[in-house]
Structure 1
Amino acid sequence: MPETTAGLVTVEIHDRIGLLTLDQPTQRNPLSSMMMTEVTAGLHELADSPEVGAIVIRANGPAFSAGHDLKEMIDRSLDDERTIFRICTEMMETIQQVPQPVIAAVQGAAVAAGCQLVASCDLAVASRDAVFGTPGVKIGLFCSTPMVAVSRAIGRKRALQMLLTGAVIDAATAADWGLVNEVVAPDALEETVRGLAEQVAAASPLTLKVGKQAFYRQIDLPQAEAYAEMREIMAANAVTCDAQEGMRAFLDKRPPVWHGQ
């Protein structure tokens, strides 16, 4: 698939990996309404492609994202502000709704809604130079929507420390707290993310879809409800062609051949 450019975001497919790139580097990739709309559209475009087994969200320039574009939030009506955060919420929820795993590749600053974007992804790899924060409290705009994703990723006390102080944390702390999976040297970020995406994309696309949807379905349920739902989902998964093929291939000591059904 040739590269397509839609203004602020580029969308590409390389070897079963969908690449969605924030491309407003001189402004530190602010999540304006237009950029967020393009990200959501790009996610749907990649999700609908049978060629794509994993999606990477990355950014051009020295920063991943500085968060919302504050210039579009000055002197606006309440309905205008509601629209901005509706668009933001739609983008974040789309990340977890698409069937393919979504991986964030983070360099430089990922703050406010940029930090929320990282926390919303299924997996995240950070460069050693990455920093993360929810600094809205410092400008009188508490990071309430970033709080949703960040608190679910790192827990209450750590999230409140970030939210109430507005202080940034470094990449090593982000990994220790569970905001990112791995920290690598800046020149190893692209290769590491590609390797992780290739590893994920090697699995059955049907199984990835079932598993990702099941994870987000069960994570906030009481344990008894989670088991009740997941045992039914796993039983239904077990009778699919791909699960039967995978189990047979394991017993036969051969690579599986996925059919996506």
Structure 2
Amino acid sequence: MRRSLGGARRLLVARRLHTRHEPGAISMDTAVLEYAVDEEAGVLDIQHTRTPPEMRGQGVAEKLCDAAFEHARGASLRVLPSCSYVSDRYLPKHSEAQGIAVRSVDSATPGLCICVSWLGVASLRLVDARRRNPLTAALLAKLQSFLGACAAMEVTHGGPLPEVRTLLLESTGPVFSSGHDFNDFHEAPAAEQRRVLEMCADVNALLAEVPQVSVAAVSGACVAGGAQLAASCDLVIARDDARFCLPGVRTGGFCHTPAVAVGARVAPRKALELALLASDVDAVEAERIGLANSVVPSAEWASAVEQTVNQLARTFSKSVADGKRTFYRQAAAPALRDRYAVATDTMVDMFSSPAYQESMAAFLRRKE
């Protein structure tokens, strides 16, 4: 397909019949934008732009990106760029047409793009698809910092809502995450290994401790530390091609820390089995054992994820934040009566808040 951009220059969109993660390119003379399409997820990933020195400063990159977004809209695809240049400069410009309504984009950390929408959905997107989305030390440090800031956001009855109201953990490419980057561990001193593992543990703990609901949108292979990260989220929406695995024993090791998060979601015997046998668990089995909340067909998955996180952002409140916190507190209590005591204390606080009383009064008036 060729379209004139004015003058002698012409834009060429070269695209094969895509199935999944097939490459494509948009070119203008010698400038090129490379992308990949995942039609089942409904995603176009802008991966790289190359503009020769003699063409810089002429708006060529912007025209290439505009064409990519137009191409995506025509194919009913959502643009999730792993290219930080595009995320920073052009994703906000096209956010309304994308239905994203971006408040902020941060792609300074290699392998991670954090995009916060005006609705309050913070997308924590793993974007190093070529390396199977490893959880590098730098990426974990950024997640730790961001989640720490989310944990510190004040949520009050009747007060203003925080900027971030829901967390969405997602990825680009055929692998959700392959887990730790073992370059961070190989030949590193024990103190450094411990530092990275403790930072990872803090990230996973923060996902439960933050007031916002966290959702993992899992597609493809979700392995080791990747499975740990997904299991630590409050909800997991699996695409029908998702598979989970704790593969440590295959390489002479053991998935010690990933088994902690997985063991908190499934029966202890089952978690131990997954770690001992390193067997793959498909999406349907993951839902059956409690590792995933739902399995959605590929064609409907992206829409289901978007609807879920947007609904969570719209209904977020002090009561929701307290509900999440109380659920985990009562679940950790040793006895049934202790669990009821924890829940009762929170419920009494909710009933006594002026904002809740006003809301309940309005509800009762509507019933009269």
Shift >3 Å, 4+ stretches:
44-49
Q: Partners in 1 of 2:104 and 2:165 — Cα distance?
A: 17
Amino acid at match of 1:6: A
CA-CA distance at 1:102 after TM superposition: 0.4
Structure 2: where are the runs of 5+ without partners? 1-102, 154-160
Question: What is aligned with 2:210?
Answer: 98
* Matched positions, count: 254
Matched-pair contact (CA < 8 Å) for 2:211–2:325 = yes
TM-superposed CA distance for 1:123, in Å, is: 0.4
Partners of 1:76 and 1:140 lie apart in 2 by 18
Helix, strand or coil at the partner of 1:153? coil
- Report the counterpart of residue 189 of structure 1 in structure 2: 301
Q: Which residues in structure 2 correspond to 1:60-71 (within 5 Å)? A: 60-71=172-183
Q: Deviations over 1:174-224 (max 9, x none)?
A: 011111111112232221111111222232421121111111111121212
1:241 and 2:347 are equivalent in the alignment: no
* Fraction of identical pairs, as percent: 33
The answer to whether 1:10 aligns with 2:113 is: yes
Deviation at residue 25 of structure 1 after TM alignment: 1.0
| Aligned partner of residue 76 in structure 1, secondary structure | coil
Output aligned runs, 1:151-170, within 5 Å.
151-170=263-282
C-alpha contact 1:126 1:182 (8 A) present in aligned 2: yes
Verify the 8 A CA contact 1:18 1:46 in the aligned structure 2: no
Given candidates 136, 140, 165, the residue that maps to 2:248 is 136
Question: Could you tell me whether the CA contact under 8 Å between 1:64 and 1:106 is conserved in 2?
Answer: yes
**1:125–1:183 Cα contact (<8 Å) kept:** yes
**2-side partners of 1:201 and 1:68: how far apart?**
30
The separation in 2 between residues aligned to 1:247 and 1:52, in whole angstroms, is 26
1:134 offset after TM fit, Å? 0.6
Distance 1:200 1:245, change over 3 A: farther
Whose helix fraction is larger, Structure 1's or Structure 2's?
Answer: 1
Q: Which is richer in strand?
A: 2
Q: State the distance in 2 between where 1:190 and 1:64 align.
A: 14
Q: Which amino acid aligns with 1:86?
A: E
Letter in 2 for 1:242: A
Q: Using the TM superposition, give the Cα deviation of residue 253 of structure 1 relative to its aligned residue in structure 2, in angstroms.
A: 3.6
Match of 2:145 in 1: 41
Amino acid at match of 1:163: A
- Helix, strand or coil: the match of 2:264? helix
3-state secondary structure, aligned to 1:3? strand
Alignment of 1:150-229 (within 5 A): 150-221=262-333, 222-229=335-342
Distance in 2 of aligned mates of 1:26 and 1:253? 55
Larger Rg: 2
Task: Return 27-36 or 8-17, whichever deviates more.
Answer: 8-17
Q: 1:13 corresponds to which letter in structure 2? A: V
- From the superposition, tell whether residues 57 and 245 of structure 1 become closer, same or farther in structure 2 (CA, over 3 Å): farther
User: How far apart, in 2, do the equivalents of 1:75 and 1:247 lie?
Assistant: 60
Which residue, 9, 12, 20 being the options, matches 2:124?
A: 20
Shift of the alpha carbon at 1:45?
A: 4.7
The match for 2:164 among 26, 45, 52 is 52
Q: Distance in 2 between matches of 1:108 and 1:204?
A: 29
What CA distance in whole angstroms lies between the structure 2 residues aligned with 1:65 and 1:253?
Answer: 49
* Structure 1 residues 204 and 128, CA gap change in structure 2 (3 angstroms): closer
Structure 1 residue 46, shift from structure 2 partner: 5.1
Deviation per CA, 1:42-101, whole angstroms, max 9, x where unpaired?
Answer: 334556482332110111111110011122211122212111110100110111111110
Cα-to-partner distance string for 1:208-243 (whole Å, 9 max, x where unaligned): 211111111111212121112221111011112332
Supply the distance in 1 between the matched residues of 2:192 and 2:104 (Cα, whole angstroms): 36
- Pick closer, same or farther for the CA change 1:199–1:84 going to 2, 3 Å: same
Q: Please tell me whether the aligned partners of residues 217 and 238 of structure 2 are also in contact (alpha carbons under 8 angstroms).
A: yes
Distance 1:112 1:160 in 2: 13
5+ unaligned residues in a row in structure 1: which ranges?
Answer: 255-261
